[in-house]
């Protein structure tokens, strides 16, 4: 690395400084397939092999000719891009197609209702909002029933057709009624008070440690990384984070949120206190493969435990397939490999084919609240252009009996084999290769105690991965990034068009990088060109 000052600048990260220090502040002027082009000092285009691929949004690469042709056609036809509050047959078609694919993969036949959005975080927030609406509406219905039953019991006592047995007050921990107060009044007051206390408890969300679900005000509460989340916790709902592989913690957290709703009933002329189980857990959000947390596939056993937990407790599962879905792992949903069945799914990134901003939240029929359609909307969501582009992407994935998925699996396996080969050559440098299909992570051993000053400084400032990315760019014309919350892990999420030659180029580049780290010789790093 060039200079002392570059190293000391790393200690105070902000985005602009980070980009320029790591040499990542280059402008790209054109993009096609797996290649981005930037201009050199003489104005000539320099191709850069793009393994970051729009943070996983480019399943068919940049400006795929078929997607671009479809977009041109749509504009030439002067389609009404924005015609809100009218019939949207294209959105219905997209929802139908998503249903058809998800049904085929998960084996369910239950329909999923679609709510469209413009970004992943927005899709997550739509799911969270819907889950909360569902929770609030069911809670209200249960409380109404309880009130109705309690009112009827009180009326029966007042009419003399029912009595309050000795000991019922004690069972609620109540003392004697005040002078002139009836037992029944006291009981009704206490039940109302306890039910109100349950009603007013704020919802709690469950999510996994190292999970990432977005950075908007609501979704950032569900993103584990404290650096992103903590300044904003006062602005949103509470999330309880569960470590991966710890069903015991999951149960413990759930126990803390459990309680009962009370009601009075009358049985054989006697008033009784009835209970209905109630909990304040609104939803459980998870990624089948944690992306920004460092490309960690969820262990199968834990996925099964989560699924069983959801079925036992009724806590809905929101499966965030924003990064892992859309065919990237060889199936449409990465959760399919784990037998996960979501009450909700969220898709974004590749849904827009690299040229549209599209996201969708899907909720299964038995959970769906039609009221949500009027409560939630966004000017640009569900626009015809994005829906048609998304339909085109689905067509391309499904063509030839699922050629897109097969390619993702086969190209992913070739890429993973190469990464494993490099890792095997540098076990002292590379900690692990993880992932599935075209969602792969390459983790370096922690360099916080590196002998080399610059590598150590970079690692201690959480910038190690960015510095490596800078070298890959300037020395090898390859673009890759560390994951957002695990900066020792480089991510590789290229398109299905990835060629063997492109894999070879990365092999050469990573071999060089691993050599530099092994030799602790940061002076060989190139961060400008
Ligand atoms: N969830 C996951 C799993 C993601 O990977 C991301 C983006 N990296 C998001 C949510 C947020 O999506 P967006 O950046 O489109 O808001």
Summarised one tens digit per residue, pLDDT across range 325-353 is 999 999 999 999 999 999 999 999 999 99
**DSSP state letter for 161:** S
Instruction: Look at residue 276 in the predicted model and tell me its pLDDT.
Output: 96
Q: Which fold has domain 3-64+403-524?
A: 3.90.1150
Mean of pLDDT over the chain:
94
- What spacing in Å lies between the alpha carbon of 216 and ligand 1's midpoint? 10
210 lines ligand 1 (CB under 6 A): no
- Decide which of 320 and 175 is more confident: 320
pLDDT digits (tens, 9 = 90+) for 138-164: 999 999 999 999 999 999 999 999 999
Cα angle 440, 442, 447; round to 5: 155
In the predicted model, is pLDDT for residue 15 greater than 80? no
Considering only CA atoms, which residue is closest to atom 9 of ligand 1? 214
State whether the Cα torsion 411-412-416-417 is positive or negative: negative
In the predicted model, is pLDDT for residue 11 greater than 70? no
Instruction: Look at residue 413 in the predicted model and tell me its pLDDT.
Output: 98
Instruction: Look at residue 529 in the predicted model and tell me its pLDDT.
Output: 80
Considering only CA atoms, which residue is closest to atom 5 of ligand 1? 323
Instruction: Look at residue 25 in the predicted model and tell me its pLDDT.
Output: 87
218 lines ligand 1 (CB under 6 A): no
For range 55-67, the mean pLDDT: 97
- What spacing in Å lies between the alpha carbon of 211 and ligand 1's midpoint? 10
> How far is the C-alpha of 491 from the C-alpha of 52, rounded, in Å?
7
Place of tokens 């679900």: 213
Instruction: Look at residue 180 in the predicted model and tell me its pLDDT.
Output: 66
287 lines ligand 1 (CB under 6 A): yes
- What spacing in Å lies between the alpha carbon of 481 and ligand 1's midpoint? 15
pLDDT digits (tens, 9 = 90+) for 20-46: 777 888 999 999 999 999 998 898 999
Q: Are 435 and 441 in contact (CB under 8 A)?
A: yes
Among 10-14, 56-60, 359-363, which is the least confidently predicted range?
10-14
Instruction: Look at residue 16 in the predicted model and tell me its pLDDT.
Output: 66
pLDDT digits (tens, 9 = 90+) for 469-497: 999 999 999 999 998 888 899 999 999 99
The residue whose CB lies within 8 Å of the most ligand 1 atoms, and thus the one to mutate among 121, 218, 483, is: 121
- What spacing in Å lies between the alpha carbon of 393 and ligand 1's midpoint? 19
348 lines ligand 1 (CB under 6 A): yes
In the predicted model, is pLDDT for residue 2 greater than 60? no
Instruction: Look at residue 30 in the predicted model and tell me its pLDDT.
Output: 97
First to last CA, the chain: 13
In the predicted model, is pLDDT for residue 10 greater than 60? no
| pLDDT tier, 3 (very low <50, low <70, confident <90, very high otherwise) | very low
Among 415-429, 437-451, 453-467, which is the least confidently predicted range?
453-467
523 token code pair:
């002076």
State the closest ligand 1 atom to the C-alpha of 349, by its place in the atom list counted from 1.
Answer: 15
Considering only CA atoms, which residue is closest to atom 15 of ligand 1? 120
- What spacing in Å lies between the alpha carbon of 346 and ligand 1's midpoint? 10
Q: Are 276 and 243 in contact (CB under 8 A)?
A: no
Considering only CA atoms, which residue is closest to atom 1 of ligand 1? 213
Instruction: Look at residue 370 in the predicted model and tell me its pLDDT.
Output: 97
In the predicted model, is pLDDT for residue 5 greater than 70? no
The residue whose CB lies within 8 Å of the most ligand 1 atoms, and thus the one to mutate among 213, 489, 493, is: 213
pTM, rounded to two decimals: 0.94
In the predicted model, is pLDDT for residue 383 greater than 80? yes
State the closest ligand 1 atom to the C-alpha of 55, by its place in the atom list counted from 1.
Answer: 8
> How far is the C-alpha of 357 from the C-alpha of 494, rounded, in Å?
19
320 lines ligand 1 (CB under 6 A): yes
- What spacing in Å lies between the alpha carbon of 374 and ligand 1's midpoint? 25
Place of tokens 């056993």: 301
**DSSP state letter for 431:** E
| pLDDT tier, 176 (very low <50, low <70, confident <90, very high otherwise) | confident
Contacts for 395 with CB less than 8 Å, ≥ 6 apart: none
In the predicted model, is pLDDT for residue 407 greater than 90? yes
Instruction: Look at residue 222 in the predicted model and tell me its pLDDT.
Output: 98
397 lines ligand 1 (CB under 6 A): no
Closest CA to 506 of 428, 389, 420: 420
Contacts by 192-198 with C-beta closer than 8 Å and gap 24+? 192/147, 192/150, 194/262, 195/143, 195/146, 195/147, 195/261, 195/262, 198/139, 198/259, 198/260, 198/261, 198/278, 198/280
């Amino acid at each position: 690395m060039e200079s002392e000052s570059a190293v000391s600048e790393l200690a105070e990260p902000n985005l602009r400084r980070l980009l320029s220090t790591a040499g990542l502040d280059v402008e790209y002027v054109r993009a096609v397939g797996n290649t981005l082009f930037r201009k050199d000092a003489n104005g000539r285009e320099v191709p850069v092999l793009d393994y970051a691929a729009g943070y996983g949004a480019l399943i068919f690469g940049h400006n795929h000719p078929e997607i671009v042709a479809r977009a041109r056609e749509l504009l030439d036809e002067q389609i009404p891009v924005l015609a809100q509050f009218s019939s949207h047959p294209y959105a219905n078609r997209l929802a139908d197609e998503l249903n058809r694919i998800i049904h085929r993969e998960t084996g369910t036949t239950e329909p999923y209702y679609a709510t469209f959005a413009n970004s992943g975080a927005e899709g997550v927030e739509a799911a969270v909002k819907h889950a909360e609406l569902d929770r609030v509406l069911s809670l209200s219905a249960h409380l109404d029933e309880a009130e109705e039953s309690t009112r009827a019991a009180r009326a029966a006592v007042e009419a003399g057709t029912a009595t309050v047995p000795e000991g019922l007050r004690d069972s609620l921990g109540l003392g004697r009624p005040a002078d002139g107060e009836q037992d029944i009044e006291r009981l009704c007051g206490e039940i109302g008070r306890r039910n109100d206390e349950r009603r007013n408890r704020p919802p709690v969300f469950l999510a996994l440690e190292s999970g990432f679900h977005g950075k908007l005000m609501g979704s950032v509460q569900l993103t584990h990384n404290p650096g992103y989340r903590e300044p904003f916790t006062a602005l949103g709902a509470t999330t309880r984070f569960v470590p991966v592989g710890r069903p015991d913690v999951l149960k413990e957290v759930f126990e803390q949120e459990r309680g009962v709703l009370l009601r009075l009933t009358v049985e054989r002329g006697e008033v009784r206190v009835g209970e209905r189980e109630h909990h304040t857990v609104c939803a459980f959000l998870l990624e089948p493969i944690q992306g920004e947390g460092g490309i960690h596939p969820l262990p199968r056993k834990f996925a099964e435990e989560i699924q069983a937990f959801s079925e036992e407790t009724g806590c809905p599962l929101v499966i965030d397939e924003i990064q892992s879905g859309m065919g990237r792992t060889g199936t449409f949903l990465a959760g399919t490999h784990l037998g996960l069945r979501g009450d909700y799914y969220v898709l974004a990134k590749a849904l827009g084919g690299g040229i549209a901003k599209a996201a969708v939240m899907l909720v299964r029929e038995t959970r769906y609240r039609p009221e949500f359609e009027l409560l939630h909307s966004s000017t640009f969501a569900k626009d015809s252009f994005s829906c048609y582009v998304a339909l085109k992407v689905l067509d391309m994935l499904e063509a030839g009996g699922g050629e897109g998925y097969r390619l993702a699996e086969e190209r992913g396996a070739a890429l993973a084999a190469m990464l494993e080969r490099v890792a095997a050559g540098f076990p002292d440098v590379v900690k692990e290769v993880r992932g599935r299909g075209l969602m792969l992570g390459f983790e370096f051993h922690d360099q916080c105690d590196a002998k080399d000053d610059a590598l150590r400084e970079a690692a201690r400032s959480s910038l190690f991965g960015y510095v490596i990315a800078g070298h890959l760019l300037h020395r090898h014309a390859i673009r890759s990034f560390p994951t957002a919350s695990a900066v020792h892990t480089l991510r590789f999420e290229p398109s299905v068009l990835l060629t063997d030659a492109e894999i070879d180029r990365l092999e050469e580049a990573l071999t060089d990088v691993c050599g530099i780290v092994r030799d602790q010789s940061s002076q060989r790093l190139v961060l400008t060109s």
